[in-house]
Amino acid sequence: MEKQRLIKMGDLEQRFLLKALGKTQERTGMGQDLMDKIVHVQKKKLYLSDEEYEWTIQSLNNMRNDYLSEGRSCGGIDRVLLKLIKSKYRHVPVR
């Protein structure tokens, strides 16, 4: 069993995560595996390793900073970011 973070996702969270990771992928060329994992998540429960969790938090924070510098509202991004930060560890079978 492995410890991973569990995030219960809705459509809003999924769209924001994909958009943030897409922008990060354009900048760095990395993150396609994580995007595929988010697209093909089952039962709207996303399990993230510590590395994926950090990558996701950084991507969302960069997207939030971009929105703030453009003078746009970032309330939805804040909700998703808070949901990620509050996520708990769960034991999941190694895949």
Distance CA 22, CA 4 (A): 23
Q: What is the pLDDT along the chain (95 residues), one digit of tens a residue?
A: 899 999 999 999 999 999 999 998 888 887 889 999 999 998 899 999 999 999 999 999 999 999 999 999 999 999 999 999 999 999 988 76
Q: Pairing relation of β-strands 88-92 and 2-8?
A: antiparallel
pTM: 0.89
